Structure 1
Amino acid sequence: MKALNATLPTQGLLNFKNLVYLDLSFSTLHNNFLKDIGKISSLKILLLSGCQLSGTIPAAKGLCELKHLLKLDMSNNDLRGTLPSCLANLTSLQQLDISSNHFIGNISISPLGTLTSLHKLQLSRNLFKIPISLLPFFNHSKLKFLDCHENEIYADIDVPNLTPKFQLETLDLSGQGDGGVFPKFLDYQHKLEYVDLSDIKMKGEFPHWLIGNNTKLYTLHLPSCSLSGPLHLPMHSHVYLSHLDISDNSFNSPIPTEIGVQFPNLYFLNLSGNGLIGDIPSSFGKMSQLIKLDLSNNRLSGIIPQDLIVGCISLFNLILSNNNLQGQIFPEQANCKELDRLLLDGNQFTGSIPYSILNCTLLNMLDVSDNHLFGSIPGWIRNMTFLRVLDISENKFSGTLPSNFVPPQIREVYLSNNRLQGPLTNAFYNCSELMTLDLSRNYFTRRIPDWFGKFPKLSYLLLGYNNLVGEIPIQLCNLGQLSLVDLSNNNLSGHVLPCITAASNKVRQEEVGTNPYMASSPAYMKQPLEFTTKSISYYFQGSILKYISGLDLSCNNLTV
């Protein structure tokens, strides 16, 4: 049924006494509808998602009279209050979806515990209090799908030694809360396919037995669960598991050497923020279907194993940031034709940028900042035609910039805190898509090129702490999107351009839609921009940059 913008007159519907299926989703209904719907006592399926219903569910009348109801969907409304006890009358109900409302109350004392015919129950995005033991549902022998994410999960004080009658296939309790210990009812589950307990604090080690007991499990999400102890894997290989996220826990142990053999069909693996130590196992090369691998923010050491780069032929994102990895940043042999993001920042890599990265023909983002790389910047980077973000800041690169060394579609370039020198010549001459250019804290000389005025989308220009001379080119007045400009600590002379001053004082539009260039800005923009004012350095990154304006011309020879 097509959604109606006006309030739907429902009086006539109430005359259809034999109606069994009614779908009014995304229509606008009067609140009295929930009181009157009981007149259609034959209803078996009632769909009221997105109907702008508000207030509480009427007690005793209306919904509570639909004793033949098999499926009820009241999601995406503005319903609130506790669930009325009369809902216990709906003993035939098999599917119930009341997600995305404002219901409150403890599930342990709600009527849901009596609806033992339920197969599928969706309570997500409400204000319920739900015990992590799921004790209220232990008699629901038919329950297979339970979605409770974005409610408050709490630990039971005393849980009886009972075995649940259900065998769940999908379980989502993610959101917030302190669950105490890892839930014991999961010991008895053998048909799980999807489990998400994200952001629930629980004591215990990584539950490798959960994977071993459920041979069809394909997704396991346990990030930020306060798990600790060594990271153990199940005894046998698990061929169904495709998504594993156990980031931001405290394992503080090596990655098991045979992880690639144990989980050969993983698509997504996130082990970031766990204090992991030791080398990156070469068995990762066995994961030929791996799309995303995130090992960032650990204490891993050693080199990037060549087996990883050669064997993971489907790899789209490789994130190894903030570890203690050493050696060359990329093996000489590489089979990474699908790679889109390569983040190696915050390590101890040495040497130059290897030519093998050019094999990553679809690379969109390359971040090797904050390492110990040296040598000159290779001119072949211009051949990486899909590259949009290049960050090689905070290294020891030297020499001059090659002419046109970046592809013309580049959007963000970060070269700060290196030892680059010489004139800027035409390094970025044809980069019409450029939005961020940070060349600060190097040794660049001569004038700011006039062709800087040909970057119509340029918003952030940082040239501070170099040896630039001459006047500020008037062509910068053509840059209508400039919002953050740092030309400080150079040897610039001449007059301050009024247009630059006006740009620094402009009020940024808070709606991205008013700025077509900002609307097309890439989602990452994760690199922080350093901006100094009154001798204090500030770092801005992410979406906050949309609202920042600034101009620093200090420590030059300029006149007003």
Structure 2
Amino acid sequence: MGVLDSWHKEECCQWSAFSLEVADLGSSQLGPSFPAWLQSQVDIWLMDISSTVIVDRLPDCNNLLEGQLPQCFGVMDIGFLMLSNNRFSGNFPSFLKRLRQLKSLDLSHNSFSGRLPLWIGELAELRFLGLNHNTFSGEIPPTISNLSHLRHLNLAGNGLSGAIPWHMSNITAMIGMDKSNYENELFFDGYLGTFHTLDFSSAVIKGRELNYSSGIWDLVSIDLSFNQLTGVIPEEIAALDALINLNLSWNQLSGKIPNKIGALQALESLDLSRSMLSGGIPSSLSDITYLSYLDLSDNNLTERIPSGRQLDTLYTQQPSMYSGNSGLCGFPLPISCPGKNATRKDDQKRNEHSFEPMTFYFGLALGFILCLWVVFCILLFKKAWRTAYFCMVDKTYDQMYVFSVLTWKSWARK
């Protein structure tokens, strides 16, 4: 520990009359100033001073903590730091760089601002990162992909811009993993029981905001919604096959949806709505067995909608999932696809329409042939009809012959 850290520790410890390892103080109305007695603690491993009050919904509440975070946090060996739903402000706390054992950080629903630092990728033990609903700006640090243990990333509701980082496949905790092994690794020394009693965090999944306690660790999730992100969706995101929730909505993303997105076999909720995505919908989406929520609305998607039992079922439950894409066509939409982009059902309809005139002409020809056969059979077996028929033919022949001869002589005289 450096000289500065030693000084901070001495300054903080002068208030300490007791020592805490777990501070479960959620919704305890500690505000508005940060309690001095809590700053004096240096042995806290789990600190929850979050609030169940959402600041945006109750702006007059004066029991919430506000201002900048005390620097005393930097001398603690905190593993779990939950500060959501308060009024903390300032830049991303610099003292967090020293918390190399930090496993969970929840700063959501506060007023933090500025850019996210590159050194955030050095918090190698981080499993949960909730920075949603602040006013962070700038690009998402590319080093965030160095957090190989990360299972829950929530940066929604900020002012982040630039592209989604590449090398997402480096986050190996989001690639097929045994949950039981993960829990044994994460919850030790009795902390699992503590988390079962906490309202740990919230997450937007399947279009709804849900509160989670220890179950948040089972929700492998990436939420980058409500930002100003540009560029394409990285192809590597399809390697994160343990993802349950992927929300990239309300951004300015362009390009095509990755063709291999169907490799996300654990995916239950996918929201790519309200962006600028183009091209067709990958047919591999119909291969995601557990997918129960899909929203692709308000993009620039074109071409026919791929068929598949899963996609057809989702449409009956959520008819707005394709709305706002004027270039989409085919079943289940009422817009038929022209030319080569036509679906099999469109082809069927066109074949039915083209078959109608063919049926008419075929019936006409068949009727004519049948009439001829009827007349032939009657003449063959009825002698009286046969005699009358040939007399009529001879008489007609004579009349035509006389008419033609007289007409020819008349023209010859002229």
* Contact in 2 for aligned 1:379/1:405 (Cα 8 Å): no
Distance in 1 of aligned mates of 2:257 and 2:247: 13
The yes-or-no answer on 1:170 pairing with 2:22 is yes
Given the two structures, how large is their TM-score scaled by the length of structure 2?
0.59
Given the superposition, is the C-alpha separation of residues 279 and 422 from structure 1 closer, same or farther in structure 2, using an over 3 Å criterion?
A: closer
Q: How many residues align?
A: 266
Question: Structure 1 residues 420 and 208, CA, compared in 2 at 3 Å: closer, same or farther?
Answer: farther
Q: Which of the pair is proportionally richer in helix? A: 2
Asked which structure has the greater CA Rg, the reply is: 2
CA shift for structure 1 position 312: 1.2
- Work out whether 1:297 is the aligned partner of 2:188: no
CA-CA distance at 1:333 after TM superposition: 6.4
Distance change in 2, residues 1:304/1:236 (3 Å):
closer
Letter of the 1:243 partner, please give it.
Answer: S
Q: Does 1:203 align with 2:63?
A: no
Task: Kindly indicate whether structure 1 or structure 2 has the higher relative contact order, using CA contacts under 8 Å at least 6 residues apart.
Answer: 2
Superposition CA RMSD, Å: 2.5
Q: Using the TM superposition, give the Cα deviation of residue 278 of structure 1 relative to its aligned residue in structure 2, in angstroms.
A: 0.6
Runs of 4+ in 1 over 6 A off after TM superposition: none
Per the TM alignment, residue 169 of structure 1 is displaced from its structure 2 partner at its CA by 1.0
Pairwise CA distance, 1:235 = 6.7
What secondary structure does 1:322 align onto?
A: coil
Paired AA for residue 416 in structure 1: S
- Structure 1 unaligned residues grouped into runs of 5+: 1-160, 428-438, 447-560
CA contact (8 A) 2:15 2:36 kept: no
Residues 299 and 270 of structure 1: CA distance in aligned 2, closer, same or farther (over 3 Å): same
Distance in 2 (alpha carbons) for counterparts of 1:234 and 1:198 = 19
Alignment match, 1:228: 89
State the match for 2:102 in structure 1: 241
Write the distance in 1 (CA, Å) between the matches of 2:107 and 2:67.
13
Query: What amino acid maps onto 1:202 in structure 2?
Result: L
CA distance in structure 1 between the partners assigned to 2:326 and 2:156 by the alignment:
27
Determine the structure 2 residue equivalent to 1:343.
247
Distance 1:356 1:176 in 2: 47
Q: Are the equivalent residues in 1 in contact too, given 2:118–2:141 (CA < 8 A)?
A: yes
- Structure 1 equivalent of residue 131 of structure 2: 271
The correspondence for 1:287, drawn from 147, 166, 182, is 147
The match for 1:188 among 17, 20, 40 is 40
CA distance in 2, matches of 1:208, 1:306: 33
Superimposed CA distance per residue, residues 257-286 of structure 1 (whole angstroms, 9 cap, x where no aligned partner): 11120x211111100011100111112122
The alignment partner of 1:185 has SS state of helix
Aligned equivalent of 2:395:
none
Correspondence list, 1:78-477, <5 A: 163-175=15-27, 177=29, 179-199=31-51, 201-207=64-70, 209-210=72-73, 212-215=74-77, 217-234=78-95, 236-261=97-122, 263-307=123-167, 309-315=168-174, 316-332=220-236, 334-404=238-308, 406=310, 410=314, 412-413=317-318, 414-424=321-331, 444=335
1:252 aligned counterpart, secondary structure: strand
Give the Cα separation in 2 of the matches to 1:386 and 1:180. Answer: 45
Q: CA deviation at 1:247?
A: 0.5
Query: CA 1:260–1:207 in structure 2 vs 1: closer, same or farther (change >3 Å)?
Result: farther
Find the aligned partners of 1:193 and 1:421 in 2 and give their Cα distance. Answer: 53
User: Structure 1 or 2: larger strand share?
Assistant: 1
State the secondary structure of the residue aligned to 2:65. Answer: strand
Residues 235/244 of structure 1: CA separation in 2 closer, same or farther (3 Å cut): closer
Q: Which amino acid aligns with 1:234?
A: F
Fraction of identical pairs, as percent: 31
State the TM-score, normalizing by the size of structure 1. Answer: 0.44
Which amino acid is the alignment partner of residue 276 of structure 1? F
1:356 shift after superposition: 3.9
SS of the counterpart of 2:261? helix
Deviation readout 1:425-469 (Å, 9 max, x if unpaired)? xx5xxxxxxxxxxx6xxx6259xxxxxxxxxxxxxxxxxxxxxxx
Q: 1:291-345: CA deviations, max 9, x gaps?
A: 10100000000111113x1211213100001000011123456531211110000
